């Protein structure tokens, strides 16, 4: 009898311990802020509730060097990382990321073509747009030429410190049509033209480096207009700030999920990607922050009011420019060096 009770007690103890052992831990890295909060609500919490791994989030600033160091020393502690588009292919070419098995994630046909990469899945579309404070600016700027017009709109302009986006905006301000921007920028004369146009605005520029800064600058009245991530403006609007977006000539891009090479929980990370790419979860995410889903079926699940604020809505995308990853991969280094020298003058 005693033996039986002992066996039963052992079995009971084992069963009690099993759920604790079953819930592994998954380290997910993102850029934090309003977007990190939206991911938590739409993806991480429901995944945990559905019996997935416990998610531990880490915030970073997109430092690819950290992933590289982990992979090279074979001490990988991150399982799933959000990266910007230029880093997906670069990291893939350098062997920093695992190749993905889409049969375990989502049919490629259900995704925007730009979302499909052998090493990463684009999971939302975001845009760098022109924003202003509706309480401080009564006449709405409608073009990049307006952004550059300091006589009509006196005051400082907020721009992200770097060549990316700013050179494109400068050319549009100088009259180049969005569809021709990269064709012009690829030529030495086009690059000169972009820098010349930036120089016109230089005395009125207030640089920003973190996504939280443009809404803060606008609310404080430090700048009259600023480039900004549309999701940051959306978050400020949800807090009751009267910030507005001009979508003309916005530059849209995707962020991707990658699994670092040698990640300790590769299978569980793949499960989280698959969970997040489900139609209903992509739709839930877009309702928590105004970033467009990459699962094309999710758009049909969204109310008109939500759709109107997304970079992927037909109205907002009409004059938008898709960030050209290939162009910046080829010419980015030289242009960023030139920009740094120009900014320091």
What is the mean predicted confidence (pLDDT) over 213-242? 96
Q: Which residue has the higher pLDDT, 80 or 89?
A: 80
C-alpha–C-alpha distance, residues 219 and 5, integer Å: 69
Percentage of the chain exceeding pLDDT 70: 93
CA-closest candidate to residue 81, choices 53, 62, 99: 62
Q: Chain-centre distance of CA 140, in angstroms?
A: 26
What is the mean predicted confidence (pLDDT) over 9-13? 47
3-state class percentages of the chain: helix first, strand second, coil last, to nearest 5: 50, 20, 30
156: its two tokens: 């400082």
List domains and CATH numbers for the chain.
2-125+254-312 (3.40.190.10), 126-252+318-344 (3.40.190.10)
pLDDT tens digits for range 113-170: 999 999 999 999 999 999 999 999 989 999 999 999 999 999 999 999 999 999 999 9
C-alpha–C-alpha distance, residues 345 and 336, integer Å: 14
- Identify the pLDDT of residue 138: 84
What residue has token string 């380290």? 27
- Identify the pLDDT of residue 247: 96
329 confidence band (pLDDT: 50, 70, 90): confident
pLDDT at 180 over 90: yes
The string over 218-233, giving b where at least 16 C-beta atoms fall within 10 Å of a residue's C-beta and e elsewhere, is bbeebbbbbbbbbbbb
- Identify the pLDDT of residue 16: 46
8 confidence band (pLDDT: 50, 70, 90): very low
C-alpha–C-alpha distance, residues 282 and 124, integer Å: 8
How many Cβ atoms from other residues are within 10 Å of residue 243's Cβ? Answer: 23
pLDDT at 59 over 90: yes
DSSP codes joined into one string, 177-216: -GGGHHHHHTSHHHHHHHHHHHHHHGGGEEEE-STTHHHH
Q: Highest-confidence range of 18-22, 246-250, 316-320, by mean pLDDT?
A: 246-250
C-alpha–C-alpha distance, residues 334 and 311, integer Å: 29
4 confidence band (pLDDT: 50, 70, 90): very low
What is the mean predicted confidence (pLDDT) over 59-72? 94
- Identify the pLDDT of residue 15: 46
For residue 241, CA distances in Å to 127, 136, 229, 234, 276 come to: 19, 12, 15, 9, 30
17 confidence band (pLDDT: 50, 70, 90): very low
- Identify the pLDDT of residue 37: 95
DSSP codes joined into one string, 317-339: HTT-EE--HHHHHHHHHHHHHHH
Q: Which residue has the higher pLDDT, 81 or 17?
A: 81
76 confidence band (pLDDT: 50, 70, 90): very high
C-alpha–C-alpha distance, residues 162 and 209, integer Å: 9
pLDDT at 217 over 50: yes
- Identify the pLDDT of residue 3: 39
Choose the weakest-confidence range: 5-14, 255-264, 294-303: 5-14
Counts for the chain of helices (H) and strands (E), in that order: 16, 9
Q: State phi, psi for 168 to the nearest 5 degrees.
A: -65, -45
pLDDT tens digits for range 288-306: 999 999 999 999 999 999 9
23 confidence band (pLDDT: 50, 70, 90): low
Residues in the chain: 345
Identify the helix (H) or strand (E) that includes residue 14.
helix 2-22
CA-closest candidate to residue 236, choices 248, 253, 254, 218: 218
C-alpha–C-alpha distance, residues 76 and 298, integer Å: 33
C-alpha–C-alpha distance, residues 76 and 265, integer Å: 10
Sign of CA dihedral 11, 16, 21, 22: positive
**Residues 62 and 287 sit within 8 Å (Cβ to Cβ):** no
How many Cβ atoms from other residues are within 10 Å of residue 294's Cβ? Answer: 25
- Identify the pLDDT of residue 61: 87
pLDDT at 273 over 90: yes
pLDDT at 20 over 70: no
> Whole-prediction pTM value?
0.84
Identify the helix (H) or strand (E) that includes residue 146.
helix 144-148
């Amino acid at each position: 009898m005693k033996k039986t009770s002992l066996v039963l007690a052992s079995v009971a103890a084992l069963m009690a311990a099993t759920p604790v052992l079953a819930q592994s831990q998954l380290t997910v890295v993102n850029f934090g802020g309003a977007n990190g909060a939206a991911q938590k609500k739409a993806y991480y919490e429901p995944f945990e509730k559905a019996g997935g791994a416990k998610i531990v989030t880490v915030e970073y600033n997109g430092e690819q060097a950290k992933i590289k160091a982990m992979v090279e020393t074979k001490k990988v502690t991150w399982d799933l990382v959000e990266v910007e588009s230029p880093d997906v292919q670069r990291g893939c070419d350098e062997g920093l990321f695992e190749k993905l098995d889409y049969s375990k994630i989502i049919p490629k046909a259900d995704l925007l073509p730009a979302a499909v990469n052998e090493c990463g899945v684009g999971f939302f579309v975001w845009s760098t747009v022109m924003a202003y404070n509706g309480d401080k600016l009564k006449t709405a700027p409608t073009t990049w030429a307006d952004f550059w017009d300091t006589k009509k709109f006196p005051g400082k302009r907020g721009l992200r410190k770097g060549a990316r986006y700013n050179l494109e905006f400068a050319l549009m301000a100088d009259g180049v049509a969005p569809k021709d921007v990269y064709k012009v920028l690829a030529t030495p004369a086009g690059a000169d033209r972009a820098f010349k146009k930036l120089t016109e605005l230089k005395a009125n520029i207030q640089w920003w480096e973190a996504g939280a800064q443009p809404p803060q600058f606008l609310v404080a009245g430090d700048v009259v207009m600023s480039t900004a991530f549309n999701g940051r403006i959306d978050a400020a609007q949800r807090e009751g700030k009267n910030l507005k977006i001009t979508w003309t000539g916005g530059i849209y891009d995707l962020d991707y999920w990658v699994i670092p090479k040698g990640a300790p929980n590769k299978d569980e990370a793949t499960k989280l990607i698959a969970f997040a790419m489900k139609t209903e979860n992509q739709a839930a995410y877009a309702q928590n922050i105004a970033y467009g889903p990459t699962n094309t079926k999710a758009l049909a699940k969204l109310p008109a009011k939500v759709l109107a604020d997304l970079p992927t809505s037909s109205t907002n995308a009409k004059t938008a420019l898709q960030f050209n990853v290939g162009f910046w991969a080829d010419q980015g280094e030289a242009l960023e060096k030139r920009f740094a020298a120009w900014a320091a003058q």
